A = this chain, B = another copy of it.
Amino acid sequence: MAERAPKIRLYVDAPLRQGLEVETQTQAHYLVNVMRQSAGDRVELFNGEDGAWAAEILRAGKRAVSMRCVAKTSEQSMPPDLELLFAPIKKARTDFIVEKATELGVRSIRPVFTRFTNAERVRPEKLRAHCIEAAEQCGGTFVPDLRDAAPLDAVLSDWPEGRKLLFCDERMDAPDAAAALRNAGPGAWSILIGPEGGFSDEESARLRALPFATTVMLGPRVLRADTAAVAALTLWQSALGDW
């Protein structure tokens, strides 16, 4: 732990242990051509399970870079058991939601299709890449699990026992989020954020009646969906999470 963490951080899908060698092909171009790394340079690796490791570059080729773990730089750290359920919106704003959720600290992210969702489709590989990039950037050791997109109705009908739901409704008649969260207390939580058009009256009524749901509003101004996602995650982390 005395070792200072190298500045370049890479997520790898491989075990990390003292002395273990790791090879990357997908990040070789970035390491060698973009970041000008060569044999002897150090990078930080993490895989979401084994903490972060300083690794020395053994061979830096155009097609593959091999590295060896030399010292653990931080212990594995898991975010709270928090899930973000969000209705996909325009591409740049969806990317943004996924990036911000990773930084703010969630265990998993799941796109849900609601009545007014009009995004054509989600591209899980792209969203996963955004999660990884955000984790590399924010110094975390964990990449949120990107769950399969599903219709909201199906997600609610198959709700896990004991998990709580924060429903952020854009109707301006719900209680303040921070107080409601403190009242509802800690545990496993999901946060649900709707699309730009909000939730239908039917969806809102169903959600409000759920015994595991806490309905809140996020201030007196209508927030865009991406802003609402960041605001709700922030208030949850501050009231019940690891902030």
* Contact residues of A between 95 and 114, Cβ < 8 Å to B: 96, 99-100, 103-105
Q: Cβ of A145: which chain B residues have Cβ within 8 Å of it?
A: none
**B178 pairs with A223, CB closer than 8 A:** no
Q: Cβ of A177: which chain B residues have Cβ within 8 Å of it?
A: 238, 243
**B103 pairs with A223, CB closer than 8 A:** yes
Q: Is A156 an interface residue (CB 8 A)?
A: no
Q: Is A242 an interface residue (CB 8 A)?
A: yes
Bound CA–CA A145/B103 (angstroms): 30
Would A234 and B235 be within 8 Å (CB), given that A103-B221, A219-B104 are in contact?
yes
Which of A23-31, A48-56, A136-144 interfaces with chain B? Answer: A136-144
Q: Is A77 an interface residue (CB 8 A)?
A: yes
Q: Is A20 an interface residue (CB 8 A)?
A: no
How many monomers of this chain does the complex have?
A: 2
Which of A33-41, A118-126, A224-232 interfaces with chain B? Answer: A224-232
Q: Is A155 an interface residue (CB 8 A)?
A: no
Bound CA–CA A178/B235 (angstroms): 9
Q: Is A237 an interface residue (CB 8 A)?
A: yes
Q: Is A176 an interface residue (CB 8 A)?
A: yes
**A103 pairs with B138, CB closer than 8 A:** no
Please, how many residues of chain A have a CB less than 8 angstroms from a CB on the other chain?
32
**A138 pairs with B242, CB closer than 8 A:** no
Bound CA–CA A103/B93 (angstroms): 15
Q: Is A218 an interface residue (CB 8 A)?
A: yes
Closest B residue to A181 by CB, please name it: B238
User: Of the candidates B96, B100, B221, which one forms a contact with A105 in the assembled complex, judged by CB atoms under 8 Å apart?
Assistant: B221
Q: Is A220 an interface residue (CB 8 A)?
A: yes
**A231 pairs with B104, CB closer than 8 A:** yes
**B234 pairs with A104, CB closer than 8 A:** no
5 shortest A-B CB distances, which residue pairs? Answer: A219-B243, A231-B234, A230-B230, A178-B238, A234-B234
